[in-house]
A and B are shown apart, each in its own frame.
Chain A
């Protein structure tokens, strides 16, 4: 991506304090409110969204801020998610900080625009309120929607609770505007989006300091006109001044490299956030009782929070278990994750989605990162909670207990290893 060295556009913050109803400090809020307030605090300038359950309250909350005059942003009530992302792309190119949110079919409907946004290297932040993909219709939670867009070239961060939603939205702009990549802030529908939890709303003044103004990489300038994203051939080509410029493949290499480089940025931003606001939002992933663990659960999203309880329950039974909560799914922290899983005998991944025809996506990635690190632990793929199927702590605890014993007694068979295990599926 050519970054032009001309006059940069500086965005202006329009809001000068927290929303009236949400002063800095403790509040009891839903995940959707948390996301909306996060976007407010970042001084978003253009919001475009289309309603879908369970995302709708995010945009309702934001449109209230705008109509109230509390947030002087352009709210564009588009006719579809395809256009929501189209508006975000246009506004982000124009130099505005933008926000949108969606779920499931809305995310799928955006698909070509998701690739356009990331290929254009735009720092768009989007809430993805995780919901099952139809057919058949379901408005309830799983993570098939964001997992299906895994390869759209976005950063994907998963939140465990409502505090992490507001914190991750704020961090997302900082990360996005640093590496020029869009960020999907994923949080579980209903379980987080519609459930109230106590959380700390940050102070807008502090957020402003944490988040410098957005500077577009290629500002619209009639005195220095640029054709953004024209047809680009496979091979490099000369420009009018005889300079050899990138072909499609070089652009994609840089796009991919930016994602890989963002592994460090995500960690740095989280630790700086911790210094400023006193709490981390989970870095690339977080560990719970893994030091002396021999069996480890790996999962993402709200399930990670519940699994802390599961680990504690099993520890009481003297099971040497720990937990890895994956926050950054793309970029995938392969090297650090395999280091954290070194010497673990048994790894139990729990996916709320499927790579149909194989196993859970988290499982597949965990296996591949262990393989490249020469670690030959046994990894078992569990599928749970599809389409809102309830997941109870004791179910996970029983499953983990059961598989740990099977492992100890050499009872794991090829069926356990080559096929996903479906938790609480009554088929």
Chain B
């Protein structure tokens, strides 16, 4: 595992971008581009990432970047990959990067099709657990109980999809989850994914101070709490082999999850969650955690 001091010093994010103060997305993108050494072309749908990218005629990153219609990220990436292959210019990584809405909901059809064809690109879903760009509406990734602008009073009544499992079911060569609070975990996964042919899917937890309603200075802590409580679990599935990684691996080996309330109470979006829902969420997390531990055959090797 790469240590923080070993990360390359080259930067591909230019000084200044249009995301909110404390946004986790910029942290994530910075390490993603480091891992790809800037040798990539991005396809990006309508989302906070579009905003971060900058308005014409200025840009906040120094890599080629192609904007896409909201549902079409994976289709455009397939096309860029096919075009580069036809022109024998395959030394550039095609990086499709979409929000949870652009992945779980409106983008799932194009992504599923591309995964079934094992199209040659890296898809990173950055998950801030709602439609942030349009003003924090619920998405298929929003946790149960969360207040959003379309679940304003009682909170979301449905549980989110498990996108990692959905992608795993496509039997693509690489599936991983990670979180911006653990930049080396993210870096190593992108670096590994870069070398693999076919569709690689990385799920990136991106805490969002505006939508999750916490103090912008706490982004890293919130992401760490997400992992330490098991709300987000870091793993990778390489050619079908499942491994917990990083902080989640250490917790599984010789630690124990923190109570979920520590994570939830740090964010106002969970403000009026009922004790029943809280209990249900904690039970779900415990059960899933056990499943992950028994799924990882490499843990106690």
Contacts of B38 in A (CB 8 A): 222
Most chain A CB within 10 A, of B57, B77, B89, is at B57
A222 to B55 CA separation, bound complex (whole angstroms): 20
Q: Does B135 contact A (CB under 8 A)?
A: no
Q: Does B61 contact A (CB under 8 A)?
A: yes
Q: Does B69 contact A (CB under 8 A)?
A: yes
Contacts of A90 in B (CB 8 A): 43, 66, 75-83
Q: Does B92 contact A (CB under 8 A)?
A: yes
With A231-B51, A237-B55 as contacts: A83 and B86 at CB distance below 8 Å: no
Q: Does A271 contact B (CB under 8 A)?
A: no
Q: Does A378 contact B (CB under 8 A)?
A: no
CB closest chain-A residue, reference B83: A94
Contacts of A220 in B (CB 8 A): 41, 64, 66, 80, 84, 92
B92 A229 Cβ-Cβ under 8 A: no
A222 B63 Cβ-Cβ under 8 A: yes
The A-contacting residues of B in range 187-219, CB under 8 angstroms, are none
Min distance, Cβ A79 to any Cβ of chain B, angstroms: 3
Min distance, Cβ A328 to any Cβ of chain B, angstroms: 27
Nearest 10 CB-CB pairs, A to B?
A90-B79, A94-B83, A86-B75, A79-B113, A91-B83, A87-B79, A83-B75, A96-B83, A45-B86, A245-B57
Contacts of B65 in A (CB 8 A): 225-228, 230
B83 A229 Cβ-Cβ under 8 A: no
Most chain A CB within 10 A, of B53, B65, B77, B117, is at B65
A222 to B43 CA separation, bound complex (whole angstroms): 14
Partner of A113, one of B69, B80, B113: B69
CB closest chain-A residue, reference B50: A231
Contacts of A84 in B (CB 8 A): 75
With A220-B92, A225-B65 as contacts: A12 and B80 at CB distance below 8 Å: no
Q: Does B5 contact A (CB under 8 A)?
A: no
A85 to B76 CA separation, bound complex (whole angstroms): 8
Q: Does A283 contact B (CB under 8 A)?
A: no
A230 to B40 CA separation, bound complex (whole angstroms): 17
Q: Does A399 contact B (CB under 8 A)?
A: no
A238 to B57 CA separation, bound complex (whole angstroms): 7
With A46-B83, A76-B79, A245-B56 as contacts: A222 and B109 at CB distance below 8 Å: no
A303 to B54 CA separation, bound complex (whole angstroms): 50
Q: Does B116 contact A (CB under 8 A)?
A: yes
Q: Does B144 contact A (CB under 8 A)?
A: no
Q: Does B298 contact A (CB under 8 A)?
A: no
The B-contacting residues of A in range 82-101, CB under 8 angstroms, are 82-96, 98
Q: Does B256 contact A (CB under 8 A)?
A: no
29 inter-chain pairs at a CB distance below 8 angstroms, sorted by A residue, are: A9-B87, A12-B87, A45-B87, A74-B83, A78-B113, A80-B110, A82-B72, A83-B75, A86-B72, A86-B75, A86-B76, A86-B79, A89-B76, A90-B83, A95-B89, A96-B83, A220-B66, A222-B40, A225-B62, A227-B59, A227-B65, A228-B65, A230-B55, A230-B56, A230-B65, A231-B50, A233-B55, A237-B57, A240-B58
A92 to B82 CA separation, bound complex (whole angstroms): 10
- B72-108 interface bits toward A, Cβ cutoff 8 Å, 1 = contact, 0 = none: 1011111111111111010010000000000000000
A227 B86 Cβ-Cβ under 8 A: no
A228 B67 Cβ-Cβ under 8 A: yes
Q: Is the interface on chain A under 10, 10 to 19, 20 to 34, or 35 or more residues?
A: 35 or more
A2 to B83 CA separation, bound complex (whole angstroms): 21
Q: Does A317 contact B (CB under 8 A)?
A: no
A86 B68 Cβ-Cβ under 8 A: yes
Q: Does A414 contact B (CB under 8 A)?
A: no
A230 B64 Cβ-Cβ under 8 A: no
CB closest chain-A residue, reference B18: A231
Q: Does B71 contact A (CB under 8 A)?
A: yes
B83 A230 Cβ-Cβ under 8 A: no
Q: Does A221 contact B (CB under 8 A)?
A: yes
Contacts of A239 in B (CB 8 A): 57-58
With A12-B87, A230-B50 as contacts: A48 and B76 at CB distance below 8 Å: no
Q: Does B149 contact A (CB under 8 A)?
A: no
Q: Does A138 contact B (CB under 8 A)?
A: no
A87 B63 Cβ-Cβ under 8 A: no
Q: Does A77 contact B (CB under 8 A)?
A: yes
CB closest chain-A residue, reference B67: A229
Q: Does A73 contact B (CB under 8 A)?
A: yes
Q: Does A151 contact B (CB under 8 A)?
A: no
Binding site for B on A (CB under 8 A): 2, 9, 11-12, 14, 45-46, 48, 73-74, 76-80, 82-96, 98, 112-113, 116, 220-222, 225-233, 237-240, 243, 245-246
Contacts of B43 in A (CB 8 A): 90
A96 B87 Cβ-Cβ under 8 A: yes
A11 to B68 CA separation, bound complex (whole angstroms): 24
Contacts of B68 in A (CB 8 A): 86, 89, 116
Partner of B116, one of A79, A93, A112, A233: A79
B71 A82 Cβ-Cβ under 8 A: yes
Contacts of B112 in A (CB 8 A): 79
Contacts of B119 in A (CB 8 A): 76
Min distance, Cβ A247 to any Cβ of chain B, angstroms: 8
CB closest chain-B residue, reference A97: B86
B109 A79 Cβ-Cβ under 8 A: yes
Contacts of B89 in A (CB 8 A): 9, 94-95
Contacts of B113 in A (CB 8 A): 78-80, 83
Min distance, Cβ A359 to any Cβ of chain B, angstroms: 32
A46 to B119 CA separation, bound complex (whole angstroms): 14
Contacts of A230 in B (CB 8 A): 50, 53-56, 59, 65, 67
B86 A46 Cβ-Cβ under 8 A: yes
Min distance, Cβ B143 to any Cβ of chain A, angstroms: 29
Contacts of B86 in A (CB 8 A): 14, 45-46, 73-74, 91, 94, 96
A231 to B59 CA separation, bound complex (whole angstroms): 10
A86 to B107 CA separation, bound complex (whole angstroms): 12
CB closest chain-B residue, reference A86: B75
A227 to B51 CA separation, bound complex (whole angstroms): 12
Most chain A CB within 10 A, of B64, B67, B81, B86, is at B86
B69 A95 Cβ-Cβ under 8 A: no
